[in-house]
């Protein structure tokens, strides 16, 4: 077993977005220093890090400097080139590994991997070229969704399709890049599991979260999720199997669909903390970001227990309208916790922050969260 990395050491973060920022806060709180690599000079994590290397993810000079300074390196973003992690792996501790990350960067590779574990996915067909489309009805039924295989997030690069003709048009509109065509599942709800796996293979998971999306972007997370104990156990077991199959070390998440038949179907893997785990910042003994620090440093996992029912609401750039949201409305409530990411420009669909509402039960938390979401609109 590797020796533990203790406070005082510098930890490296590939990517400077909000996930990197919340990792940085957690690490600094525990007494670590953080170096962030991100090409954006105003990146949310870069602006609060002890050191910000403002360089491209394939800049070998910057990566060599990072490896020199950092006792260990992790990531907040699955699209960091796997070669970047491989380059760093020769020089320092990197968690998760380049191999684990590579399995999650392409939707076809990821689905093949999940299916190889005997875990259900939505029926899917890889579409590499136009000719692949003619055969899809052998495997899937319409309606379906055509998704680009790489670099999609927050519902970007996805086109709903009702027939073959739609798929041809959608494939063209997506630039004939590698895609996956997925059968549309009749959803009862969506859930996710955030877990942490240590270098010795022990696993801890946060309570199952229930997620509601608007326009393909996460809007709210409710915990505890409204699912049976059996469904919850099944999702946790699948997430564990996926983490073990990847040989994963660190914090990761698996998104699931719950079909109207009650089946649990894996949607996708996030090799990092996840938006649906932001509730842990205020509602669990340990946050998903502290857990990421602990796994990176070879420390034992923190306690994942839920302290209070909670609803998390994302605040997208949409909320800004023509003026700053009315934060006073939100901050007036003593059971509500606001998290803003320090992004300068509020664009429609851009994740700017979130807030957690802690209450005696999830119905009360959701009622208050919905009221506040309306109250803060800047117009």
**Strand-pair partners of 212:** 220
258: contact with ligand ATP by CB under 6 A? no
Between 189 and 326, CB nearer to ligand ATP:
189
CA 189/CA 186 separation, integer angstroms: 9
Contact segment (CB under 6 A) with ligand ATP among 84-92, 184-192, 287-295, 340-348 equals: 184-192
Can you tell me the distance from the alpha carbon of 94 to that of 96, in angstroms, rounded to the nearest whole number?
Answer: 6
In 3D space, the residue among 199, 202, 222, 204 whose CA is nearest the CA of residue 212 turns out to be 222
Q: Smallest distance from the beta carbon of 66 to ligand ATP, in angstroms?
A: 26
Residues 197 and 206: beta-carbon distance below 8 Å:
no
Q: How far is the CB of 379 from ligand ATP (least distance, A)?
A: 26
| Count of residues that bind ligand ATP according to CB under 6 A | 19
Question: Which member of 110, 268, 282, 318 binds ligand ATP (CB under 6 A)?
Answer: 268
The region of 49-57, 179-187, 193-201, 369-377 touching ligand ATP under the rule CB under 6 A is: 179-187
Tokens, residue 232: 């919850």
Closest separation in Å from C-beta 300 to ligand ATP: 30
Closer CB to ligand ATP, 137 or 333, in the complex: 137
| Residue 154 interaction partner, one of ligand ATP, Mg ion, none, beta carbon < 5-8 Å per kind | ligand ATP
Binder to ligand ATP among 110, 210, 255, 318 (CB under 6 A)? Answer: 255
Q: What is the DSSP annotation of 262-325? A: --EEEEEEESS--GGGTTHHHHBSS-HHHHHHHHHTTPPPPP--BSS-EEEEEEEGGGGTTS--
Classify the C-alpha dihedral 319-272-175-166 as positive or negative: negative
Instruction: Kindly state the smallest distance separating residue 218's Cβ from ligand ATP, in Å.
Output: 5
Nearest in space to 241 (alpha carbons), one of 256, 220, 224: 256
**Residue 71 or 120 with smaller CB distance to ligand ATP:** 120
Alpha carbons 236 and 240: distance in angstroms, whole number: 6
Between 190 and 282, name the residue whose CB sits nearer to ligand ATP.
Answer: 190
Task: Name which position in 102, 185, 209, 336 contacts ligand ATP (CB under 6 A).
Answer: 185
Choose from ligand ATP, Mg ion, none: what does 216 bind? Cβ within 5-8 Å by kind: ligand ATP
| Residues whose CB is less than 8 angstroms from the CB of residue 209 and which lie 6 or more positions away in sequence, other chains included | 191, 192, 193, 194, 221, 222, 223, 225, 276, 277, 279
Residues that bind Mg ion (CB under 5 A): 255, 268
């Amino acid at each position: 077993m590797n020796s533990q990395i203790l406070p005082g050491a510098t930890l490296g973060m590939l990517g400077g977005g909000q996930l990197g920022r919340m990792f940085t806060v957690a690490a600094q709180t525990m007494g670590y220093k953080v170096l962030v690599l991100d090409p954006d000079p105003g990146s949310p994590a870069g602006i609060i890090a002890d050191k910000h290397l403002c360089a491209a993810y394939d800049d070998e000079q910057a990566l060599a400097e990072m490896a020199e300074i950092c006792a260990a390196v992790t990531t907040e973003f699955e699209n960091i080139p796997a070669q970047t992690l491989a380059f760093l792996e020769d020089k320092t501790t990197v968690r998760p590994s380049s191999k684990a990350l590579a399995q999650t960067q392409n939707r076809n590779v990821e689905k093949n991997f999940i299916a190889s574990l005997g875990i259900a996915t939505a029926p899917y067909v890889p579409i590499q070229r136009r000719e692949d489309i003619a055969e899809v009805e052998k495997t899937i039924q319409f309606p379906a969704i055509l998704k680009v295989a790489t670099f999609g997030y927050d519902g970007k690069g996805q086109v709903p399709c009702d027939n073959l003709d739609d798929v041809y048009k959608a494939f063209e509109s997506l630039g004939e890049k590698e895609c996956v065509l997925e059968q549309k599942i009749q959803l009862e709800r969506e859930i996710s599991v955030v877990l942490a796996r240590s270098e010795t293979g022990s696993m801890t998971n946060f309570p199952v979260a229930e997620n509601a999306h608007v326009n393909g972007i996460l809007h709210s997370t409710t915990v505890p999720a409204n699912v049976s104990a059996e469904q919850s156990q099944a999702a946790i077991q699948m997430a564990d199997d996926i983490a073990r199959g990847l040989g994963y070390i660190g914090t990761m998440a698996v998104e699931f669909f719950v079909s109207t038949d009650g089946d649990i179907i894996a949607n996708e893997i996030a090799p990092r903390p996840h938006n649906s785990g932001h509730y842990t910042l205020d509602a669990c003994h340990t946050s998903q970001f502290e857990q990421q620090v602990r796994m990176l440093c070879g420390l034992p996992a923190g306690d994942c227990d839920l302290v209070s029912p909670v609803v998390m609401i994302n605040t997208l750039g949409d909320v800004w309208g023509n003026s700053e949201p009315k934060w006073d409305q939100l901050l007036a409530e003593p059971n509500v916790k606001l998290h803003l990411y320090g992004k300068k420009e509020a664009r429609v669909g851009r994740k700017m922050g979130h807030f957690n509402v802690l209450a005696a039960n999830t119905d009360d938390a959701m009622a208050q969260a919905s009221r506040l979401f309306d109250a803060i609109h800047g117009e």
